[in-house]
Amino acid sequence: MVNEAPDLATLLRSWRARVRPADVGLPFRAGSRKTAGLRREEVAWLAGVSPDYVKRLEQGRARPSGAVLRALSRTLRLSEAEYELACRLAGHAAEGGGAVPQYIGAGAQRLLDRLTDTPVAVFDAAWTLIEHNAPWAALTCDDWHGRSGRSANIVWRVFTGDAGPVRHPHPEEHKASLVADLRDVAARYPADRELRDMIGALRRSSPEFARLWEGSAVAHHRSERKTVGHPHVGELELDCDVLSVHGFDLRIVVYTAAPGSEAADKLRLLTALGTDATAPPPMGAPSSSKVPGG
C-alpha cells in the first residue's frame, strides 16, 4: 500500500505558498509578483538561512535542525499543530528534549503582526530573543534576523560588556533580576545543555555574574521607564513592560511612549525610517554584524 502522507518537503512548499508578503511585513508593489506566496529568497532571509538551503529543504535533500525549524515555523506562520508535525517529520521532539521552549503561538505572532507602530519583541524564558517587529529593529538599530543562541541572549550580552543602547534606571537591580530569572529557568529545564553551557561560561568569564549566581537575592521584573539612546533621533524616554505568555513560557517586551510626548514623535519617525532599514538586503549583500541592546 502506498503511503500518501505528505512529507516535510511537500508541506514546506505548501506552507510557503500560502503566506503573503504583507503577512510578514515585506514591502511589495501590486502587480510586481508572479509568486502567490513568499519566494524562497524571502523565506531564507526571514529565517536566517541561505536560499540554497531552503531549496534543498523543499526538495527533500536536507534535514533541518531544531533551531531552523523554529525559525521556519515563525516565518511561515505555522500553527502549533503544524509545528509539531514538522518536528516529527524532521525527526525532532517538538519540546526539544527538555530544552527551553522557543515556539511562538498564533496569538503572540498576531500581536507582533498588528502592532506595527510599537516596538515589540518576544523572548524565551532564558531571555534569548526569538522574534521582533520592524519598530523594534528601528529602535535598536539592527534587524536581528539570523541571530540565535548567545548572540541574541540579553543576559549574555549584559554580562559580557554589550549592554546596547538601553539604560536602566536601576541597573544593579536589573542585572539581579536577569540572574534570578536564569536561575529559575535552569531549575525548570535541567536538560537544556546549551543553557547549562552558557551559565557555566558566564560564571567563568564574569565575576559579577558569578557573585549574583552564587548569592540568594531574588528580584523580579517590573514596568519601568528606560532611556534608549539612538544615533539618529537622540535619547527616547520610554515605558517598558514585560508580558508573560502562559502555556508557552515566553516573554513579550513592549516599549511605548506617552501620547503627545517628544519620545512619541521620535518613535513615529523611527517607525517610518525603519521600513527601509529592515527590508531584505539585496541577494549577496553582506549583513551587519552589530549586535544592539534590548
Model confidence pLDDT, tens digit, residues 60-98: 999 998 878 888 988 888 887 888 888 888 887 655 557
Q: Which CATH number fits domain 106-277: 3.30.450.70, 3.30.450.180, 3.60.15.10, 3.40.50.300?
A: 3.30.450.180
pLDDT grade for 292, boundaries at 50, 70 and 90: very low
Predicted pLDDT of residue 77: 86
β-strands 234-245, 166-167 pairing: unpaired
pLDDT tens string 9-61: 999 999 999 988 877 767 655 555 666 789 999 999 888 889 999 999 999 99
> Is pLDDT at 287 greater than 70 in this prediction?
no
pLDDT of 113:
81
Mean pLDDT is lowest, of 4-8, 41-45, 143-147, 242-246, for: 143-147
Q: Across all residues in the chain, what is the average pLDDT? A: 82
Q: What is the pLDDT of residues 138-148, one digit of tens each?
A: 898 865 665 66
Domain with CATH 1.10.260.40 in the chain: 8-90
Please, where in the chain does CATH 3.30.450.180 lie? Answer: 106-277
CA–CA dist 158, 176 (Å, integer): 11
Sign, CA dihedral 249-121-282-157, equals negative
Average pLDDT (120-141) is 90
8-90: CATH topology is: 434 Repressor (Amino-terminal Domain) (1.10.260)
The pLDDT value recorded for residue 283 is: 36
pLDDT at site 37: 87
Q: What percent of the chain has pLDDT over 90?
A: 38
